[in-house]
Structure 1
Amino acid sequence: MKKWIVPIVIIVLVALWAMNVNNKAVGLEETVTKSWANVESSYQRRNDLIGNLVKTVQGAADFEKGTLEAVINARAKATSISIDPSNITPEQLAKFNEVQGGLSGALKSLLVTVERYPELKANQNFLELQSQLEGTENRINVARDRFNEAVEPYNKYVRTMPTKFVAGMLGFDEKGYYKADAGSENAPDVEFDFK
């Protein structure tokens, strides 16, 4: 009977350790999932505001159709991409970032083109929407930063020894970080054509 005590104690300790690894990894993964939901929520807020912005612009100006269509199409693309928060891969984040970057570019074109319409710039609804969009862009940036902050401890935990073995067996894989668009380190060129 005594010869079984040591193996049983070892098995119980390993099982308790494995449960602890699982529980901590689940907690960290939930933090990552919640952080990603906050990123998506910020993008959804922006998409909702864009619809109102487009309607305000359409109603207040004889606007350039191409720019407006680019914003509408970019918004449609941005809302068509979704990511499964339980399996966030770098490839998924890159695709998501690509369509969101297209929307950001279309919005910049819209706001630069609006400079040609003084009556629109004076429209209180437009000014309020523009201010909300700026605030939303800041929220998106904060949410992306917080997402990366949540990914770091999770990745460290599931990638360090010896928890890496148990986490891997339990299906806890490394998560991708949110990365900036290629070329975003360069300042954008802003041109005002008042012809």
Structure 2
Amino acid sequence: MFTGIIETLGIITRLEKEQENLHLTVKSQFTNELKIDQSVAHNGVCLTVVAIEDDEYTVTAIKETLDKTNIGNLKVNETVNLERGMKLGARLDGHIVQGHVDQTAECIRIENAEGSTIFTFKYDFNGDNITIEKGSITVNGVSLTVVNSKRNEFSVAIIPFTLEHTTFNTFKIGSTVNLEFDVIGKYVSKLHKIG
């Protein structure tokens, strides 16, 4: 379980394909605090630490993860948003995030606003994944509030701090991002379909 509050950026130092799996080695500020089998969210994707060496650790993404996320598009020296699992009893500053990406989206518009930057994303609508105005959404692991919710697109307003301390500062028109829709919204949508 995560909150969508990014702790730090990591740098991809090595990518190694093994059959249908991809091993990613990441350099991060908190590597020395990690343990084998610990969960870390990478651009919102929950992956398990399988090896640790000095200030780098390795995680493995399976085919399903590679098919549903942007993890397979990462390159060496690229940055990723990192968050360790939530501590029981800690404040929930973002929202409930599972680290299970639902699908990807494309950045279609970036606009400067007074004091913030508005990013608009378009996704393939399948009826299960929806946004609501002022609801929660996770974009590349970052907990955000939806503005301008539409059937298959939405916008988010990014404050300067978030822009500087996450991968949002690398986004361009056409960038592919990971989306995790609000878990409560997913349950409501599912209940509505079967009810």
Common fold: TM-score over 0.5: no
Higher strand share: 2
- TM-score for the superposition, normalised by structure 2: 0.21
- The answer to which structure has the higher helix fraction is 1
TM-score (norm 1): 0.21
Structure number with higher relative contact order (C-alpha < 8 Å, ≥ 6 residues apart): 1
- Larger-Rg structure: 1
